[in-house]
Amino acid sequence: MRLSTSAFVVAAVTLLAGSAWAHHNMSALFDFNDRVTVSGTLTRLDWRNPHIYVFVDGKSGANQTEIKGWSIEGPPPSFFRAREINRTDIEAAIGKTVTAEVSRARDGSSSGLLRVMTLPDGKVVSACPQNC
């Protein structure tokens, strides 16, 4: 199952549910205080609702030789389209190095919630304020 952060769902549901307490329903799965920078090769993109996913082979270790596959969840496609960032912008980075700042999953797995991603051409894709 997936979390729903599609903009109109958030609008319709979080307010209806009266959850002014919760800034972000993502907090159930991701720790906003556990901020991790993942740098490595973008291997795959899933550009669908309710969230996009980018998959990055992150490099770590002393010599940056250890590879760990990261699954990074982002806002829905409409969020990016409203910021004039399209699927093709990110698809063009597949096979190239990207850097993503994520809030790590609470289960400690190599998955996270996208905050900011820097594409190979230097373009910065921000998922704030939705994921901040």
Partner 1 sequence: MKSPSLAISAVVCAAVLLGPPLVQGQPLPRDPVERARIIAQVLEANARQLTLFDRRGQAVGTVGLRDLYTQPVFSPDTKRMAVIRPDLDKETNDLWVIEVATARATQVTSSKPREGANSPAWSPDGTTVAYVALRDGYFGLYRKSLAAGGQEELLFKNSAPLTLTDWSQDGRFLVYFSTDLTGGALFALPIAAAGERTPIEIFRSKFQAQGPRMSPDARFVSFVSNSSGRNEVYVVPFDPAAAPAAAASLVPTQISDQGGIGMAFWRRDGKELFYLAADRGIMAVEVGAGTPQFGKPRVLFRPAAEIVPGVAPNSTSVSRDGERFVIAVPRPQMRQLTVYDRQGAALSKVGQPGFYVQPNLSPDGARAVVMRNDPQTGNQDIWVIDLASGKGTAITSDVHPENAPIWSPDGRQVAYVSTREGIAGIYRKQADGTGEAELLFQYTPGAGMVLTDWSPDGKFMTFFTGVLVLVPVGDAKRPQDRKEIDWLREDYDVGQGRFSPDNRFLAYLSNEDNVERGEVWVRPFDAAKPDAPPTGKAVRVSKDGSVGMIAWREDGKELYFMTRNWEVMAVDITTSPTFTAGTPRMLFSLPGPLPGNPMQWKNVSRDGQRFIFAMPAAAASPSR
Which residues in the 53-72 window bind partner 1 by CB under 8 A? none
Question: What ranges make up the beta strands (E) of 47-92?
Answer: 53-60, 66-73
The runs of H, that is alpha helices, within 1-132 are: 7-9, 15-16, 77-81, 87-91
Q: Could you tell me which stretch among 4-12, 53-61, 62-70, 92-100 binds partner 1 (CB under 8 A)?
A: 4-12
Q: Is residue 85 part of the contact set for partner 1 (CB under 8 A)?
A: no
Distance CA 24, CA 27 (A): 6
Binding mask 100-129 for partner 1 (x = CB under 8 A): -x-x--x--------xx---------x-xx
Q: In terms of CB distance, is 68 or 83 closer to partner 1? A: 83
Give the interface with partner 1 as residue ranges (CB under 8 A): 1-29, 31-35, 47-50, 75-79, 81-82, 87, 101, 103, 106, 115-116, 126, 128-130, 132
